[in-house]
Amino acid sequence: MYFPREEYEARWARVRSTMRERGYETLVVWQRSAGGFDRAGDVYWLTNYASSASGQEPSRDGVSIGRGFAAVLFRAGLDPELHIAEAVQLIDTSQLVCGEIFSHTTDPSSGLPMTGC
């Protein structure tokens, strides 16, 4: 990790502050996390996660739809959740900074718990 956990928590606090100012209790931050040079963006900045996938894997038989994408889910009172499109056991979770990590290897967009949003 390039930054201590406290740096990430300060980033989360700024996100939460903006959410409160705008009256939001839930926020989903989506980003393409694989392939190209755009991997260093919002999800990476918030959790230190970037996919090792190329983003060019075929989507067939319901597998790997959206594999190049990831999301961070902010909900009031909870640590941010990281939602990824690859198996958690394939990544080094000790380098990630977030609450829970959820793997959605078939379709990350359908796996986000949007109840109450």
Average pLDDT over every residue of 18-29: 94
Q: Give residue 70's pLDDT.
A: 87
* This model's pTM is above 0.95: no
Q: Give residue 1's pLDDT.
A: 66
Q: The tokens of 76 are what?
A: 């009031």
The enclosing domain of 39 has a CATH number of 3.40.350.10
Q: The tokens of 111 are what?
A: 């796996």
Give the DSSP letter of residue 80. Answer: P
Task: Give domain status of residue 93, yes or no.
Answer: yes
Q: Tally the domains of the chain.
A: 1
**H-run or E-run covering 73:** strand 69-75
Q: How many CA atoms lie within 13 A of 49 on its CB side?
A: 36
Range of the domain at 100: 5-56+64-106
Q: Which of 36-40, 96-100, 107-111 has the highest mean pLDDT?
A: 96-100
Nearest CA-CA partner of 26 in 83, 78, 89: 78
- How far are the Cα atoms of 82, 108, 110 from residue 94, in angstroms, in the given order? 13, 22, 26
Q: What digits encode the pLDDT tens for the residues 24-47?
A: 999 999 887 666 555 557 888 999
